[in-house]
Amino acid sequence: MFEETEGAVYGYRCTACNELHYPKHQVCRACAGREFEEFPLEGEATLVTWTKLYNLPEGYMKPYLYFGIVAYGNGIRAAGQLEVSSPRLGMKVATTTGLVKEGGKDDVIGLIYR
């Protein structure tokens, strides 16, 4: 029922020291380098925390959304929408991307953990 990776979400690897960043930083936190190469956020991650949010900002035609923060094996942590039936701390989730905000020409593709 969900759009397959129609736009990946990327992490950023410092080309000087390999430190990983997400989201993008202009300066590497480890070596102050300024060059990065992209790598897709993908695969399995661990659910660190989650919430079910009822009052959504303007533009959402839903009564609620689930959100989570996950940790990847490489140390990257990221927030995303969450689509699992009963979230539990520490559970494994899969990285997908899909439509996270509908706005006509302003549609946003982002991280959805399933």
Partner 1 sequence: MREVGIVGIGHTKFGRSKTGYIEMACAAALEALDDAGVKPLAGHGIDQVLLATMGASMINHQSSVASALVDTLNLRPAMAETVENGPASGASAIKMGYSLIASGMADTVLVIGAEMMRVVSGWEGTDFVATMLHPEAEYDLGLTLPALAGMFTRLVMDSYGVTERDLALVAVKNHQNALANPVAHIRLVPDLHAISEDEDKDAVNPYVAEPLRLYDVCPVSDGAAAVLLCALDVAERFPKKPIRIAGIGQATDTHTIAEREVPTDLYAVREAARQAYRMSGLCPDDIDVAELHDAFLILEIVESEEVGFFKRGEGHLAVREGKTSLGGQIPINTSGGLKAKGHPLGATGVSQTVEIVKQLRGEAQGRQVTDAQRGLLVNFGGFGNNVVALILEKEA
Q: What are phi and psi of 41, to 5 degrees?
A: -75, 120
7 touching partner 1, by CB under 8 A: no
27 binds Zn ion (CB under 5 A): no
Among 6, 25, 30, 35, binds Zn ion (CB under 5 A): 30
Tell me if 27 contacts partner 1 by CB under 8 A.
no
Say which entry of partner 1, Zn ion, none residue 78 contacts (CB below 5 to 8 A, set by partner kind).
partner 1
Stretches 12-20, 31-39, 75-83: which one binds partner 1 (CB under 8 A)?
75-83
